[in-house]
Chains A and B, each alone.
Chain A
């Protein structure tokens, strides 16, 4: 019974952790939109813009990936089961 409660709460926690996916989604969309704007204004700077955008997008994505790692730990390597 205790194990079931812990497992269920861990699953809910994993789902809650993945709410963090909203942030990178909005941020990356905004960054890509701005990059397209600047490329449209200055097409000759396309290479520089794209490279900088990729780095920025990768940076923004890391928060989402941290949340994902937390969710993975809760689902597959649950630290609370051993404490029972």
Chain B
């Protein structure tokens, strides 16, 4: 059962501050994405000649279209934020395919992103209605609703964070349990070999691939998409005047 359901490991600590796996992987992703961006946007032409520019244009077009159809034309300046969120979340979930720990399987990461969305929602609410209008909106439609409105305001970021964390962490736990079970099976069938310090369990070789496609690929991408989708929906509905 070791490793299943445990938090991220501490890699090293600086001045008593623990730097976990998540932080290291997050920075590695930032560097990798930066390098890919530099490579894709090298010597751009008005009419694309290279494949790399076409790939970059397809992605930018996709994000622009999604933001425009979900939030409306006047929100086009919001596309870079959504694109960043999407890329970071998708790659953060997909690193588990490389055998690393998923970045979004850490509650700190998803809670940070959800709090960013919460700040944006509050900012646009105050910008459209003013501070007085924002405070007054908690007493709508009748003042007795105040506690319920406060609760639903707090529940928005919490549910977003828990949804993303639960989905990815759940996949990691189920995959971990499956690996444990398969290692037990192959030891019982005597098809487990020791190669130096590593143990090679034959039953573990191909079976988990199907589950990995669902839990890592599908779940990670869908949750990243839904997270950015919900951010767009919440922010654009926060800026609506009543």
B204 to chain A, nearest CB (A): 22
Within residues 36 to 61 of chain B, which ones have a CB less than 8 A from any CB in chain A?
none
At the interface with chain A, which of B158-166, B182-190, B208-216? B158-166
The answer to whether A55 and B233 have CB atoms under 8 Å apart is: yes
| Chain A: CB-nearest residue to B165 | A69
- With A55-B233, A75-B5 already in contact, the answer to whether A65 and B226 are too (CB < 8 A) is no
- With A65-B162, A65-B163 already in contact, the answer to whether A54 and B170 are too (CB < 8 A) is no
The answer to whether A51 and B166 have CB atoms under 8 Å apart is: no
- Of B166, B222, B229, B230, the contact of A68 (CB 8 Å cutoff): B166
Range class of the A interface residue count: 10 to 19
Docked complex Cα distance between A72 and B162 (Å): 12
- With A61-B163, A65-B162 already in contact, the answer to whether A51 and B169 are too (CB < 8 A) is no
Q: Which residues of A contact B149 (CB under 8 A)?
A: none
Name 17 A/B residue pairs within 8 A (Cβ), A-sorted: A47-B69, A51-B69, A54-B226, A55-B229, A55-B233, A58-B163, A58-B223, A58-B229, A62-B163, A66-B162, A66-B166, A68-B170, A69-B166, A72-B173, A76-B5, A76-B6, A77-B5
- With A68-B170, A72-B169 already in contact, the answer to whether A54 and B162 are too (CB < 8 A) is no
Interface of B with A (CB < 8 Å)? 4-6, 69-70, 159, 162-163, 165-167, 169-170, 173, 222-223, 225-226, 229-230, 233
- Of B159, B163, B166, B229, the contact of A54 (CB 8 Å cutoff): B229
Within residues 18 to 67 of chain A, which ones have a CB less than 8 A from any CB in chain B?
47, 51, 54-55, 58, 61-62, 65-66
The answer to whether A62 and B162 have CB atoms under 8 Å apart is: yes
Docked complex Cα distance between A49 and B233 (Å): 15
Tell me whether chain B's interface is mostly helix, strand or loop, or mixed: helix
Q: Which residues of A contact B223 (CB under 8 A)?
A: 58
- Of A47, A66, A72, the contact of B5 (CB 8 Å cutoff): A72
- Of A47, A58, A65, the contact of B170 (CB 8 Å cutoff): A65
Interface contact tally, CB-CB below 8 A: 44
Tell me whether chain A's interface is mostly helix, strand or loop, or mixed: helix
Docked complex Cα distance between A47 and B69 (Å): 10
Docked complex Cα distance between A51 and B67 (Å): 12
Q: Which residues of A contact B165 (CB under 8 A)?
A: 69
A12 to chain B, nearest CB (A): 17
The answer to whether A55 and B226 have CB atoms under 8 Å apart is: yes
| Chain B: CB-nearest residue to A73 | B5
- Of A47, A58, A76, the contact of B226 (CB 8 Å cutoff): A58
A19 to chain B, nearest CB (A): 16
